[in-house]
Chains A and B, each alone.
Chain A
Amino acid sequence: MATSSSNTNKADHSKNPPLTLRSSDGKELKIFRIVAQQSSTIMNLLDLEEESNTDVIPVSEVDGSTLEKLIELMNNHTEKSFNYLGVKERKKFYNDFFANWKILDVLNFGLVANYLGVQVIFDEACQKMADMIKSKSVEWVRKVFEIKNDFTPEEEEDLKKENKWAYERGDLDDGDDAI
């Protein structure tokens, strides 16, 4: 069942029964219509489903555990108090949410949010990824995302010289915590 801890959701329960989403691995998850409105994709799928009169919306591109986490975030977003959080508090909230995540998991999560059309969460996932990449070296980024370096050493050197200012102050920290 989708969690609903605040008073604001109570009124909606009786009027609008929750929707059921089915993930790619067969997990069924409930989401309230008012929460689902954040996802343009779910709304579109809902229109299709209503025509064929089934109760379950298949979300075949997304696995169960990711979908569950996404629904949890979307639930948070509908709470009134969330919208009044200051910038710092929001940042802390997302830092806590993404604590100890591996960067590739954040990327996948962001891609899922993008697929489902939940722009705000997609944006926050991108922000988290940027935060994780921030102080890392080029080599680290290549390794984590498995990017093949197809520059010759000479070309790479020339390119670095072109943008010399960006490579100054190399206090980089290539810790493995995000891999």
Chain B
Amino acid sequence: MSNMKQREPPEPPCDVDRISNLPEHIVDKILSHLSLRDAVRTSVLSTKWRYKWATLPYLVFDNQTVLVPCQDQTLAKNKLVSIVDHVLLLHMSPIHRFKLSHRDLQGVSDIDRWILFLSRGSLKEFILEIWKGHRYKLPSCVYLFQSLNHLELFNCLLKPPSNFKGFKNLKSLDLQHITMDQTSFEHMISSCPLLERLTLMNFEGFAILNIRCPNLLFFDVGGVFEDVIFQDTFHLAVVSIGLYVNTGNERITAFGCTGNMINFFACLPHIQRLEVQSYFLKYLAAGSIPGKLPKPCNDLSFLSLRINCNDTDENLAALCLLRSAPNLQELELLARTDEQASTTRTAANTVENFHSITFSQLRLIKIVGITGMRQELSFIEFLLASTPILERMSIRPASADGRWELVKDLLRFRRASMFAEIIYLDP
């Protein structure tokens, strides 16, 4: 019996087909938004489609891409490994973006093999997320990805070799739940000259954030550290910092007379958006706090502060910052109540401190988590009186207790802006 089936005689090109004959980059774009699974399924649409997926420059292996309905962990893992091997073998063109993030994947040695394979190409984006298990130690060939433009790692251990010269083309670096030692960290940051975006969350092994990045635009950090030092970061526009630990008052600044406030902003002349989270305001308050910064932050248009209004240090730091942001447009105050409040400085009568600040550009204020304390209320009163073009202030207290008193006070406060709406949001 003949195994050869006769194909239908080739028909003249059909104009009805709406998609198969479109330029390659358009079809690639559509396919690139599909999960790998769906993209591979297009291979049976018609003979034209057989290898369209295999020339895609992106390969993403994640929970949606690969549905392996297995109860057995090991079986699921093995299946995933065989799928990745299979796809890498069938793939036919340079891979620019590789993402591996699957819940069943632990730090297996197969990943080493795939990274070795990828290091021979010109990978531009590499994303690896290890959901379970210990920090996965990256093989040394990962430091050979010279074309790398974006690197994202979750739950990994980084130990670059001593001859590592940095990622010369790296623009974006995202490291979360990683371990690395202090020297390697500093070396990596300073030897990526094109770095524009840096995200660091929950890191171990280094406590001093020495950030020397002349092209840095965006910096987002959240973790436990002792110091953050910016050098040559004149383009840095967006900063979000969360210090997860209350370092307390015993901390003595390492810089002699100037406090953290001045040092922090010394290299941030063009900062546009700043978020001060967790206990970072306390860090900024360490050392001496000037009435206002030596050079104002003229570009600062958005400021978000997590603040303990009972703490005089933090209040002074907040005021210093507010006095140094003449063009602020949006302000967010997120209240935090700590067990102890600092009273090392003479309790500043903050109402006096409030004089002579006018926010000529401030339009939006958001206040969250207050409990109706006198300090908080005077702050709100001051804000309402010094914002001539305020459009909207929203207030969401921490709890419903004492809400009538709060609302009565809000009603009474004078407003500099005729157009201001004050919106009370239920907790």
Q: Which residues of A line the B interface, CB within 8 A?
A: 104, 107, 110-111, 114, 122-123, 126-127, 129-131, 133-134, 138, 141-142, 145-152, 154, 156, 159-160, 163, 165-169
Q: How far is the CB of A3 from chain B (nearest CB, A)?
A: 21
A contacts with B: majority SS: helix
Which residues of B pack against A, CB within 8 Å? 5, 7-8, 11, 14, 16-20, 22, 26, 29-38, 40-47, 49-50, 66-69, 79, 83, 86
Q: Which residue from A122, A166, A169 sits with its C-beta under 8 Å from B29?
A: A122
- Residues A147 and B5 in contact in the complex (CB < 8 Å), given A133-B34, A142-B45, A166-B41: no
Can you pick out 10 interface pairs between chain A and chain B where the beta carbons lie within 8 Å of each other?
A126-B33, A134-B38, A141-B42, A150-B8, A151-B46, A152-B5, A152-B7, A163-B40, A165-B37, A166-B40
Contact yes or no, B7 A134, CB < 8 A: no
Please report the C-alpha to C-alpha distance between residue A131 and residue B64 in the assembled complex, in whole angstroms. Answer: 13
**Which of A111, A148, A163 makes the CB contact (< 8 A) with B43?**
A163
A114 to B16, CA, bound (A): 21
- Within 8 Å by CB of B7, from A104, A126, A131, A150, lies A150
Q: By the criterion CB–CB under 8 Å, are B79 and A147 in contact? A: no
Beyond A150-B47, A165-B86, list 14 extra A-B contacts (CB 8 Å): A107-B18, A123-B29, A126-B32, A133-B30, A133-B38, A142-B46, A145-B17, A145-B19, A146-B18, A147-B49, A149-B45, A149-B46, A165-B37, A166-B38
Which chain A residues border B22 with CB–CB below 8 Å? Answer: 111
Q: Which residue among A104, A147, A166 has the maximum number of chain B CB atoms within 10 Å of its CB?
A: A166
Chain B residue contacts of A150, Cβ below 8 A: 7-8, 46-47
- Residues of B with C-beta under 8 A to A151: 44, 46-47
A154 to B32, CA, bound (A): 28
Provided the pairs A104-B18, A133-B34, A159-B50 are in contact, do residues A147 and B45 lie with their beta carbons within 8 angstroms? yes
Per the bound structure, the CA–CA distance linking A134 and B5 in Å amounts to 32
| Given A126-B30, A165-B79, A169-B67, CB of A156 within 8 Å of CB of B19 | no
Least distance between B219 CB and chain A CB atoms (Å) = 17
- B8 touching A147 by the CB < 8 A rule? no
CB neighbours (8 Å) of B79 from chain A are 165
Whether the Cβ atoms of B45 and A141 lie closer than 8 Å is yes
Q: In the complex, which residues of chain A have a beta carbon less than 8 angstroms from the beta carbon of B46?
A: 142, 147-151
The distance in angstroms between the C-alpha atoms of A131 and B11, with both chains bound, is 32
In the bound complex, residues from chain A placing their C-beta under 8 Å from that of B14 are 146, 148
A159 to B53, CA, bound (A): 13
> A156 touches which one: B34, B40, B44 (CB < 8 A)?
B44
A146: chain B residues within 8 A (beta carbon): 14, 16-18
Instruction: State the Cβ distance, A149 to closest chain B Cβ, in Å.
Output: 6
Judging by beta carbons under 8 Å apart, are B69 and A168 in contact? Answer: yes
Asked whether B18 lies within 8 Å of A168 as measured between CB atoms, the reply is: no
Q: A142-B45, A146-B17, A151-B46 are in contact. Are A130 and B30 (CB under 8 A)?
A: yes
In the bound complex, do residue B45 and residue A138 qualify as a contact, i.e. CB atoms below 8 Å apart?
yes
Is B33 touching A138 in the complex (CB atoms < 8 A)? no
**A169–B38 Cα gap in the complex (Å)?**
12
Q: In the assembly, what is the distance between CA of A167 and CA of B37, in Å?
A: 8
- A110–B19 Cα distance when bound, in Å, is 12
- Chain A residues near B34: list those with CB within 8 A: 130, 133-134
Most buried by B among A123, A150, A169: A150
Alpha-carbon gap, A156 to B45, bound state (A): 9
**10 A-B pairs with the lowest CB-CB distances in the bound complex, closest first:** A130-B33, A166-B40, A145-B19, A146-B16, A126-B29, A145-B18, A126-B30, A127-B33, A130-B34, A169-B67
Q: Which residues of A contact B43 (CB under 8 A)?
A: 159, 163
Complex contact B20–A147 (CB within 8 A):
yes
Q: Which residue of B lies closest to A169 (CB)?
A: B67
Inter-chain CA distance A167–B41, complex, in Å, is: 7
Residues of chain A with a CB closer than 8 A to B45's CB: 138, 141-142, 147, 149
Chain B contacts of A156 at CB under 8 A? 44
Q: Output the least CB separation between B61 and chain A (Å).
A: 11
Q: How close is B330's CB to chain A, nearest CB, in angstroms? A: 9
A residues less than 8 Å from B47 (CB atoms):
150-151
Q: Is the CB of B83 within 8 A of A160?
A: no
Residues of B within 8 A of A165 (CB): 37, 66, 68, 79, 83, 86
Q: How far is the CA of A131 from the CA of B8 in the complex (A)?
A: 34
Cβ–Cβ < 8 Å partners of A147 in chain B: 17, 19-20, 45-46, 49
Q: Could you tell me the distance in whole angstroms from the C-beta of B239 to the nearest C-beta in chain A?
A: 15
Given A111-B26, A126-B33, decide whether A159 and B18 contact each other with a Cβ distance below 8 A.
no
- B39's closest neighbor in chain A, by CB? A166
B40 to chain A, nearest CB (A): 4
Residue with the highest number of chain B CB atoms closer than 10 Å, among A111, A134, A163, A167: A163
In whole angstroms, what is the CA distance A133 to B34 when docked? 8
Residues of A within 8 A of B36 (CB): 166
* Bound CA span A126–B43, Å: 18
Which residues does chain A contribute within 8 Å of B18, judged by CB atoms? 104, 107, 145-146
